[in-house]
Amino acid sequence: MSPATGTTPDAIIRVRGLSRDFVMGSETVRALRDLDLVVERNEYVAIMGPSGSGKSTLMNILGCLETPTRGDYWLNGQRVSGMSDAELARSRNREIGFVFQTFNLLARATAQRNVELPLVYAGIPADERRRRARATLERVGLADRMHHRPNELSGGQRQRVAIARALVTQPALLLADEPTGNLDTRTGEEVLALFAELQAEGQTIVVVTHESSVAAHAQRRIVLRDGAVESDEATVTRGGAGGHAGARPGEGRHEEVRA
């Protein structure tokens, strides 16, 4: 236990009193209201909730794409709330892999090249880039699609490329905002099952989804309403992929961070 925050030092996400206001003329939209959250290393958390409940705003702050109006955020032990834009960008590159609903791949680049790109920005030499991109594409089941361009791939394969791109820097935290939103149900299920495999290999994952079938894959489900946590509970996992023996992931988190 850390005396400063009352949580275990191994938490990947520690958020306390997080608020985000959007000022629209004379009106203020309170997208997040005094939200507390702890996600431990190697958890697989699903975030659900109605449209407008603050899911994307929360994901953008967790992913260091946006800053909160009030409150504190520690990412992998580092306090990122209050960082400058440049510091925030460094934390994002080092700690975060982000997967989007719309894949956001470069249309003219091969799968391998798309996955190499974050390593180009990180200054990794070409040989190592290629090796790591290929290994990561193999890990997501695309060994035979390295040289295909996005328009030569199915939606599910494109999202796998995007997941490989998010993972290739070995981020502490994989974030996905509605990664199955543009996929049919079966393909979406495959993507969620892939996340469960990644978790079994040690990855920490937070995913926003509308699919209630995510409950079959994630260990823990958080429902947002009006910018606050409405419920936070452990889910019964299917198969062997999720769930530490004896762990009850959702339990007590909120009391812990309020201490």
Measured from the CB atom, the residue of 218 and 222 that comes closer to ligand ADP is: 222
Closest C-alpha to 73, from 259, 199, 207, 257: 257
* Contact partner, 29, from Mg ion, ligand ADP, none, Cβ < 5-8 Å per class: ligand ADP
Whose Cβ is closer to ligand ADP: residue 53's or residue 159's? 53
Site string for Mg ion, 48-67 (x = CB under 5 A): -------xx-----------
Q: List the 220-225 sheet strands across, edge first.
A: 96-100, 173-177, 204-208, 44-48, 220-225, 228-234
Looking up tokens 């260990």 gives 219
Helices 185-200 and 155-167, axial angle in degrees (round to 10): 20
Q: Indicate which single residue of 7, 56, 203, 237 sits in contact with ligand ADP (rule: CB under 6 A).
A: 56
Laid out side by side, the sheet with 70-75 consists of: 27-40, 11-24, 70-75, 78-79
CB of residue 66 to Mg ion, shortest distance in Å: 13
From candidates 11, 31, 96, 161, binder to ligand ADP by CB under 6 A: 31
Among 51, 125, 151, 202, which residue interacts with ligand ADP (rule: CB under 6 A)?
A: 51
Shortest distance (Å) from residue 31 CB to ligand ADP = 3
The one among 13, 18, 54, 198 contacting ligand ADP by CB under 6 A:
54
Neighbouring CB atoms inside 10 A of 226's CB total 14
Return the range that interacts with ligand ADP (CB under 6 A); candidates 50-58, 118-126, 141-149, 156-164: 50-58
Tokens, residue 81: 């709330």
Contacts with ligand ADP: how many residues (CB under 6 A)?
12
Quote the radius of gyration of the chain (alpha carbons, Å): 18
Of 69 and 213, CB closest to ligand ADP = 69
Residue 54 binding: pick among ligand ADP, Mg ion, none (C-beta 5-8 Å cut-off by kind):
ligand ADP
If binding is defined by CB under 6 A, does position 22 make contact with ligand ADP?
yes
Residues that bind ligand ADP (CB under 6 A): 22, 24, 29, 31, 49, 51-57
Residues that bind Mg ion (CB under 5 A): 55-56
